[in-house]
Structure 1
Amino acid sequence: MEAEFAKGSPELVIKSMLTSRSSKPPIFPKEGMLSHPRVSSTKALPSWLSQEDITYYASKFEKTGFTGALNFYRNFNL
């Protein structure tokens, strides 16, 4: 997953996670999450999310990367 996230900027990763939500289980397309047609850097943001929010979260993940956050979910005993 880290390699998939590295294909895009942290801002694009955060934006795609927060704007392409569905009530269905997450299914990652074979062509990759960030190359999927639903993911776009120009997609309109929902009313509850501002560009400032995305920029803030992206700045935090630029410093730390996504591995720590992903490892949190990898440790769940499903």
Structure 2
Amino acid sequence: SLTYMTGTLVKTGHALAAAVRGGDPWAFRPYMALWAGLVGGALLGAVVYGRLGLDALWPAAAVAMTLALGVRFSRAA
């Protein structure tokens, strides 16, 4: 595994190769879900950027801030 996403791609290939050799035929699904999230986020970001330009960063920043504050205040002290 070289980096996070290329490592996931390598693990997907390993799981698919193992399935061909008789291993678990569904072991690749978690890795493919990560890739689907990456591709989906890239596509959604491209569409929103095409419509809003750099103003597309504000909703993303608001979601990130909301999630960060949610995690910060949900932790036990």
Do the structures match in fold with TM over 0.5?
Answer: no
User: When the two structures are superposed, what TM-score results if normalisation uses the length of structure 1?
Assistant: 0.27
| Structure with the higher fraction of residues in helix conformation | 2
TM-score (norm 2): 0.27
Q: Which has the higher contact order (CA 8 A, sep 6+)?
A: 1
